[in-house]
Amino acid sequence: MKDILLLEGDNELDVQMVPIALPEFVVSNVSISPSSGLLGEEATLSFKITNTGGVRGDWSVTLRFSVVGGEINWRPFSVNGTLDPGQSEIRNVPLVFRREAGTWIIRVNEHIVTYEAI
């Protein structure tokens, strides 16, 4: 590497920068099935995650739970994985609602679905 000498006055330096590719992830197709059931019954939360970035990377999606008007608020749970550029994956997460009947709100990043526990 050459030394750079800057003198008093106006100086310009033309440095070629190489863009760094990063992974970028998009969550879509969020759903829960069935959308209602008895306390203690299993439901499946599904979502698709896609790496729209330029390199392989690790992803993490946070699920948050609450019951409308209930005592349980936003209990986070993380789902993780790794995807190559352009790769997608559908994740099915089994859930059992045991603690409180009512309308549960499940946030998957910025997406929201509801489940009615009877």
pLDDT tens per residue, range 52-77? 999 999 999 999 988 887 665 666 88
Over residues 90-96, mean pLDDT: 95
Give me the pLDDT at residue 100, please.
84
Please give the full DSSP string across 51-88, using - where no structure is assigned: E-SSS-EEEEEEEEEEETTSS-----EEEEEEE-TT-E
What's the average model confidence in pLDDT over 13-33?
89
Phi and psi torsions of 69, nearest 5°: 70, 10
**Rounded Cα gap, residues 67 and 46, in angstroms:** 19
- Please give the CATH architecture assigned to the domain spanning 25-117: Sandwich (2.60)
| Mean pLDDT to the nearest integer, 36-53 | 96
Question: What does each C-alpha distance from 46 to 4, 71, 103, 106 come to in angstroms?
Answer: 56, 25, 18, 11
**Whole-number average pLDDT of the chain:** 89
pLDDT of 1 over the 70 cut: no
